[in-house]
Structure 1
Amino acid sequence: MSLTPEQLAEIEAQRATPRPTLRAVSEGMEARLYKAHQVLDHGLIRVIDYMGDDAAIVQAARVSYGAGTKHVSNDEGLIRYLMRHWHSTPFEMCEVKFHVKLPVFVARQWIRHRTANVNEYSARYSILDREFYIPQPEQLAAQSTVNNQGRGEVLSGEESARVLEMLKRDAATSYDHYEQMLSQDGQQGLARELARMNLPMNIYTQWYWKVDLHNLFHFLRLRADSHAQYEIRIYAEEMCRIVADWVPLAFKAFEDYRLGGETLSGRAVAVLKRRLAGEVVTQEESGMSKGEWREFCEVWG
């Protein structure tokens, strides 16, 4: 992770000057504020600001649902009830702002989650750093033969070395040309907004990403899943650790009902009931497609 001495000094200065506040704070998140957590080879994620805690979720739920939640005896039980029944609004009362440094191709996946506020580092105004994501050999894999958007067998030593060499060489060459095209050092060259078009997708960008907890949970449900692409998944896994410190009760409910849970179609429920009654059900009798049946059997046997 490449933070400059100036950036590290700024982080230490921010953490060394706490300010009194009357607002609710999360002790777990206070310990996380401003700290940079390394992701991939040059990436990072850190919390810049946040609002709310577990109590804010409970407070919002009791205002909006009133007597309907009085039978829930404690805060944890209420939060689990809200998560179990897909009540989203109370979780929207909490927000967090991240500073993320990530490869451009990961950013293009990430930005598909449109329910957030984003401000990205501008390569029209500034010159991008010479930093590229180069995968570890164990992350270099061939195309999956059963999943059109996934990875299959890890590349052999010789093939892995060949691919790594191309990745490094292409990245270095493209950045050399980027520098040579820029209008600087007395050269007319190209404007920054034009010179950047030759850069590869594995160069690093940065942004501030602000999102409420409900939509953050949706992001994490998809991107922290074992089927998600590795490079975005480890950002999501680091964010899971941060959220677990911020709102531990809400994260436990999310982990149980979303990350560790399964959603069943009506046909799948019918098959499970028939199985529990002792009946043997085949794919042809289930009414499911081959793909849905395969996914069903991966979970239920």
Structure 2
Amino acid sequence: MTLTPEQQTEIETARGGATPTLRPTVPALEAMLFTAIPVLDHGFIRVVDYMGDDSAVVQAARVSYGRGTRKALEDEGLIRYLMRHHHSTPFEMCEIKFHIKLPIFVARQWIRHRTANVNEYSARYSIMDKDYYIPAPGQLAAQSSDNRQGRGEVLDQPTAERVLNLLRADAEQTYGHYEDMLGEEIGLARELARMNLTLNTYTQWYWKTDLHNLFHFLRLRADSHAQYEIRVYAEAMMETVKAWVPLSYGAFCDYRLGAVTFSAKMMTVLKKLLADEPVEQAGSGLSKREWSEMLAALGR
């Protein structure tokens, strides 16, 4: 993880001051506030602000039920009911803002989630840091033979070393040329010089979202099938969410992250399987891929 001296000073200043507030706070998240959590070789995430907690979810849900609602329900039971039945708006009452340092190619995948407010470091105004992502050898794998967007077998050591050397050399060369173009001899505009940088160069942004959309992001990106380089960011964010809204986090893990959805046709097959009736893929109405996914989910 790489923090500039200015960023380190900012963190120390923020953590050194305390401001009284009447707003609900979460001690477990307060302890993590502003602190950078390392991700990959030079990346990090840190929580810089948040609003609401588990009680905000409950409060919003009970308001929506109107007067006369029984209030004897425990908060956890209500939150789990909301998650189980896809009542999303109460979770939108909580918001969180992250400061994230990540490789550009990860950022371009991340930005497809169009449900957050984003402000990215501008290479038009500032000079990019000389930080670029170099994977660990164990993360270098060949193209999967059955998944067009996934990895297959890990490369052997000589091949992996060759790839690492290419990545380092290209990143060093392009950043060197970037510096040359910005230098006094050429003096190229920053907005033009940046085009030469490799996609493994690190960028930074502030990313603010509500809890409902954060859960949607985490369901996709913390999944074992997600690309490793974005999955590790999602996993780090999961730790902050666990500290922030433990009841909502637990419901999310049970009903979203660790859950499986079956289609209507799959349910027909499952009922036959439970009744010990013979059923084959050919007559099920499921494609081969759907059939294999269903069996994998059932551990068959």
The verdict on a shared fold, with TM-score over 0.5 as the criterion, is yes
In structure 1, C-alpha distance between the alignment counterparts of 2:72 and 2:122, rounded to whole Å: 49
- 1:272 maps to 270
Aligned mate of 1:232, from 211, 230, 233: 230
Which stretch of the first structure deviates more once superposed, 279-288 or 257-266? 279-288
In structure 1, C-alpha distance between the alignment counterparts of 2:6 and 2:119, rounded to whole Å: 22
Residue 188 of structure 1 deviates from its aligned partner by: 3.7
In structure 2, C-alpha distance between the alignment counterparts of 1:106 and 1:69, rounded to whole Å: 45
- 1:95 maps to 95
Give the TM-score of the pair, scaled to structure 2.
0.97
Deviation string for 1:16-74 (max 9, x for gaps)?
21111001111111111100000000000000100000000000000012369637720
Deviation string for 1:230-269 (max 9, x for gaps)?
0000000000011000000000000000011011100111
Seen in structure 2, the aligned counterparts of structure 1 residues 69 and 169 have a Cα distance that, compared at 3 Å, is farther
Residue 7 of structure 1 deviates from its aligned partner by: 2.3
Which stretch of the first structure deviates more once superposed, 115-124 or 1-10? 1-10
RMSD of aligned residue pairs (Cα, Å)? 1.2
In structure 2, C-alpha distance between the alignment counterparts of 1:277 and 1:72, rounded to whole Å: 40
Deviation string for 1:89-118 (max 9, x for gaps)?
000000000000000000001000001000
Gaps of 5+ in 2: none
Q: Is the 8 A contact 2:175 2:197 kept in 1?
A: yes
SS in 2 for 1:92: helix
Which stretch of the first structure deviates more once superposed, 202-211 or 70-79? 70-79
- 1:134 maps to 134
In structure 1, C-alpha distance between the alignment counterparts of 2:292 and 2:149, rounded to whole Å: 17
SS in 1 for 2:44: strand
Deviation string for 1:208-230 (max 9, x for gaps)?
00000000000000000000000
Which stretch of the first structure deviates more once superposed, 232-241 or 70-79? 70-79
- 1:52 maps to 52
Which amino acid counterpart does residue 230 of structure 1 have in structure 2? Y
Which amino acid counterpart does residue 74 of structure 1 have in structure 2? E
- 1:43 maps to 43
In structure 1, C-alpha distance between the alignment counterparts of 2:151 and 2:68, rounded to whole Å: 47
In structure 2, C-alpha distance between the alignment counterparts of 1:67 and 1:292, rounded to whole Å: 45
Which amino acid counterpart does residue 140 of structure 2 have in structure 1? L
SS in 2 for 1:202: coil
In structure 1, C-alpha distance between the alignment counterparts of 2:288 and 2:142, rounded to whole Å: 24
In structure 2, C-alpha distance between the alignment counterparts of 1:100 and 1:56, rounded to whole Å: 26
In structure 1, C-alpha distance between the alignment counterparts of 2:111 and 2:21, rounded to whole Å: 33
Q: How does 1:272-291 map to 2 (within 5 A)?
A: 272-291=270-289
In structure 1, C-alpha distance between the alignment counterparts of 2:67 and 2:22, rounded to whole Å: 28
Q: How does 1:208-219 map to 2 (within 5 A)?
A: 208-219=206-217
- 2:15 maps to 15
- 1:192 maps to 190
Q: Is the 8 A contact 1:40 1:133 kept in 2?
A: yes
In structure 2, C-alpha distance between the alignment counterparts of 1:66 and 1:72, rounded to whole Å: 15
- 1:116 maps to 116
Count of matched residue pairs: 299
Q: Is the 8 A contact 1:72 1:78 kept in 2?
A: no
In structure 1, C-alpha distance between the alignment counterparts of 2:133 and 2:272, rounded to whole Å: 50
Q: Is the 8 A contact 2:124 2:190 kept in 1?
A: yes
Aligned mate of 1:295, from 270, 293, 296: 293
In structure 1, C-alpha distance between the alignment counterparts of 2:97 and 2:245, rounded to whole Å: 15
Residue 167 of structure 1 deviates from its aligned partner by: 0.5
In structure 2, C-alpha distance between the alignment counterparts of 1:285 and 1:156, rounded to whole Å: 43
Q: Is the 8 A contact 1:142 1:151 kept in 2?
A: yes
Which amino acid counterpart does residue 268 of structure 2 have in structure 1? A
- 2:158 maps to 158
Identical residues among aligned pairs (%): 66
In structure 2, C-alpha distance between the alignment counterparts of 1:212 and 1:62, rounded to whole Å: 19
In structure 2, C-alpha distance between the alignment counterparts of 1:18 and 1:262, rounded to whole Å: 44
In structure 2, C-alpha distance between the alignment counterparts of 1:17 and 1:71, rounded to whole Å: 38
Which amino acid counterpart does residue 122 of structure 1 have in structure 2? S
Q: Is the 8 A contact 2:180 2:186 kept in 1?
A: no
In structure 2, C-alpha distance between the alignment counterparts of 1:231 and 1:59, rounded to whole Å: 36
